[in-house]
């Protein structure tokens, strides 16, 4: 029996309601009931009261059971609907049941109410159960279908995967084969790599050995280069192609007194003569732009502050790619050369002058002779001939000096030795010197001493000494020639009492072209006489020299080996 049954009663007759309620209570049902009479009340109760069972009169003044049933069916199809009415006829009852009304009960048979209610409720419960079961079944069926679909899908997937697996297995096999082949290749290549490695290591060792050798050779060649740079007599350095000096040999430091910390450019500015700086920078830059080197001359200051002329020579060092690697520079001291050049220039000018003077005189004598050639009685004639001979003699002497110098320079001064007594030879030669009665030549000393020499050349020396005494010591009226024997040498001295020679000049007297009064205005001469004398004595293994004291006179002397 259902408990707390909610019964909606559609009935307009209160007595019938009472009867119904009484019958319901009698049946022992636990219930609550709501009684409605109109369509609105019925619809409200359906929604708000929520009945489990509806008991409806068949016909009401404004409403009826068929309409109420249709309303109920819309939203509450499972709530049992029992018509409780008077007589409505068999056909109507059948029609109502066909349409879905749960049951019919005649008001005069109310005692069957509880049975009908229970049956209706049971039917409803069974129907509900059926519906639930059907729904469950339907859901299960749907689930089954879904599961089936899933299975089919999974199956298909599986098949696909199996197919993929087959392909994969095939691929794997191919890949395995390829791997095996690659492995074999790797092994063979590894062998090759090993071989190459061995060759490489061998090559490496060879290269290392070569590098060691080359480095050693390089160090050696650099050492050689350095020692070469240190050995040469010049100042030497190396500079980059941009002109930066990277090495100086010791001679640079010795010459300039600089230390190695001295800035190159500053050093250069300090050493080069102010007047040569601009030119030397220009020359330096010009040479660096060439590829074959060049040279120029500058004056460079020595440690003692004296400037000396230097020849700067720059040579490029070319590498194996024909590119200039660096420059090697040398500075050669050409001071002596410069002086010699200067002397030579001076000499040419003096020689021209010296030659011109007697030639002019000779020319004048000849012109005068020409004028008086038709007058042989003229007293001028012999004088002019003497004068012409004198001039010719001077020219001849000068040319002789020049020739002898040239021969001496070339080492071809011809010497023809013979045995003779010095005193005799010198006495004879002095007879030939014309002193015009202004000077006396006195010869004294060893009259015996003999020598083995070129008598003409020895005469030449004596004549030169005497002529010099006449020329450069004119106030000394007596010229003394002294012959002596000192150990195994014979010494011949030509002594005058002239003005003497300053001690500073003495050491250069026998140099070529040297003249004390180089202006040449006072005395004629080429500065060659004493030089030739010295060369002649050298050939005889003797010595030559001068002793002089200012204001007292000079003694020019030479020695010759004595012939015993």
Nearer to ligand ADP, 230 or 549 (CB): 549
Q: Which residues contact 425 (CB under 8 A, 6 or more apart)?
A: 455, 458, 459
Q: Are 437 and 420 in contact (CB under 8 A)?
A: no
Could you give the angle at which helices 65-75 and 90-98 cross, rounded to 10 degrees? Answer: 10
Give the integer Cα–Cα distance in Å for 74 and 205: 107
Q: Are 433 and 560 in contact (CB under 8 A)?
A: no
Least distance from ligand ADP to the Cβ atom of residue 467, Å: 8
Q: Which residue is nearest to ligand ADP (CB)?
A: 525
* Distance from chain centroid for Cα 394: 73
Q: Which residues pair with 451 in a beta bridge?
A: 420, 562
* Least distance in angstroms from the C-beta of 228 to ligand ADP: 42
DSSP string of 140-198, one letter each residue? HHHHHHHHHHHHHHHHHHHHHHHHHHHHHHHHHHHHHHHHHHHHHHHHHHHHHHHHHHH
Q: How far apart are CA 486 and CA 446, in angstroms?
A: 10
What is the C-alpha separation between 235 and 300, in angstroms, rounded?
A: 11
Task: Please give the helix or strand (H or E) that residue 370 lies within, else none.
Answer: helix 335-371
Which residue number, 92 or 497, has a Cβ lying nearer to ligand ADP? 497
Dihedral angle of Cα 170, 171, 175, 177, to the nearest 10 degrees? 20
Min CB(359)–ligand ADP separation in Å: 17
Binding site for ligand ADP (CB under 6 A): 464, 468-469, 472-473, 496, 498, 501, 509, 514-517, 525-531, 554
**Angle value at C-alpha 384, between 474 and 360, nearest 5 degrees:** 70
According to the 3-state scheme, what is the secondary structure of 408-446?
Answer: HHCCCCCCCCEEEEHHHHHHHHHHCCCCCCCCEEEEEEC
What span, in angstroms and rounded, lies between the C-alpha atoms of 551 and 174? 127
Q: How far is CA 164 from CA 171, 184, 334, 557, 562, in A?
A: 10, 29, 100, 131, 133
Name which of 345 and 488 has its Cβ closer to ligand ADP. Answer: 345
Beta carbon nearer to ligand ADP, 65 or 397: 397
Separation CA 49–CA 64 (nearest Å): 20
Positive or negative torsion for Cα 25, 28, 34, 37: negative
Nearest distance in Å: CB 326, ligand ADP = 49
Round to whole Å and give the CA distance between 9 and 22: 13
Q: Is the dihedral of CA 174, 176, 182, 184 positive or negative?
A: negative
Query: Whole-angstrom Cα distance, residue 350 to residue 440?
Result: 30
- Cβ contacts of residue 492 below 8 Å, gap of 6+? 422, 426, 458, 461, 462, 481, 482, 483, 557, 558, 559, 560
**400 to each of 148, 403, 416, how far by Cα in Å?**
147, 5, 17
Instruction: Report whether 447 contacts 481 (CB < 8 A).
Output: no
CA 384/CA 510 separation, integer angstroms: 36
């Amino acid at each position: 029996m259902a408990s707390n049954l909610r019964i909606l009663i559609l009935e307009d007759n209160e007595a019938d309601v009472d009867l119904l309620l009484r019958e319901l209570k009698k049946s022992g049902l636990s219930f609550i009931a709501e009684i409605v009479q109109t369509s609105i009340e019925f619809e409200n109760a359906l929604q708000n009261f929520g009945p489990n069972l509806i008991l409806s009169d068949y016909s009401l003044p404004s409403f009826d059971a068929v309409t109420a049933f249709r309303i109920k069916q819309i939203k509450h199809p499972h709530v049992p609907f029992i018509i409780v009415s008077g007589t409505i006829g068999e056909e109507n009852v059948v029609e109502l049941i066909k349409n879905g009304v749960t049951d019919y009960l005649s008001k005069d048979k109310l005692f069957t109410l509880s049975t009908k209610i229970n049956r209706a409720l049971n039917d409803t419960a069974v129907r509900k159960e059926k519906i639930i079961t059907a729904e469950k079944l339907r859901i299960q069926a749907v689930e089954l279908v879904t599961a089936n679909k899933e299975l089919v899908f999974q199956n298909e997937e599986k098949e696909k995967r199996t197919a993929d697996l087959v392909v994969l297995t095939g691929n794997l096999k191919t890949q395995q084969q390829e791997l095996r082949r690659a492995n074999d290749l790797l092994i063979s290549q590894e062998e090759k790599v090993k071989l190459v490695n061995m060759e490489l290591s061998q090559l490496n060792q060879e290269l290392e050995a070569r590098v060691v050798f080359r480095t050693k050779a390089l160090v050696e060649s650099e050492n050689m280069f350095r020692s070469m740079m240190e050995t040469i007599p010049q100042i030497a350095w190396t500079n980059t192609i941009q002109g930066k000096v990277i090495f100086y040999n010791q001679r640079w430091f010795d010459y300039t007194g600089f230390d190695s910390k001295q800035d190159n450019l500053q050093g250069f500015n300090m050493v080069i003569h102010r007047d040569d700086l601009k030119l030397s920078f220009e020359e330096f830059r010009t040479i660096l732009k060439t590829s074959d080197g060049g040279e120029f001359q500058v004056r460079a200051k020595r440690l003692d502050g004296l400037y000396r002329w230097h020849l700067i020579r720059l040579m490029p060092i070319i590498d194996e790619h024909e590119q200039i690697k660096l420059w090697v520079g040398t500075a050669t001291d050409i001071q002596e050369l410069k002086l010699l050049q200067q002397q030579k220039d001076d000499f040419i000018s003096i020689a021209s002058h010296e030659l011109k003077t007697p030639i002019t005189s000779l020319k004048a004598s000849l012109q005068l002779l020409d004028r008086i050639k038709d007058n042989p009685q003229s007293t001028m004639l012999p004088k002019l001939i003497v004068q012409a001979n004198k001039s010719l003699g001077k020219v001849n002497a000068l040319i002789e000096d020049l020739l002898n110098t040239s021969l001496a320079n070339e080492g071809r001064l011809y010497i023809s030795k013979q045995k003779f007594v010095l005193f005799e030879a010198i006495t004879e030669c002095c007879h030939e010197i014309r002193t015009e009665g202004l000077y006396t030549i006195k010869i004294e000393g060893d009259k015996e001493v003999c020598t083995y020499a070129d008598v003409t050349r020895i005469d030449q020396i004596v004549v030169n000494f005497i002529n010099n005494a006449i020329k450069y010591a004119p106030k000394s009226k007596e010229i003394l020639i002294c012959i002596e024997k000192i150990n195994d040498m014979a010494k011949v001295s030509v002594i005058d009492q002239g003005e003497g020679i300053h001690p500073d000049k003495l050491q250069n007297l026998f140099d070529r072209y040297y003249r004390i009064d180089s202006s040449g205005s006072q005395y004629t001469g080429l500065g060659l006489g004493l030089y030739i004398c010295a060369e002649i004595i050298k050939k005889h293994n003797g010595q030559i020299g001068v002793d002089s004291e200012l204001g007292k006179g000079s003694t020019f002397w030479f020695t010759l080996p004595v012939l015993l």
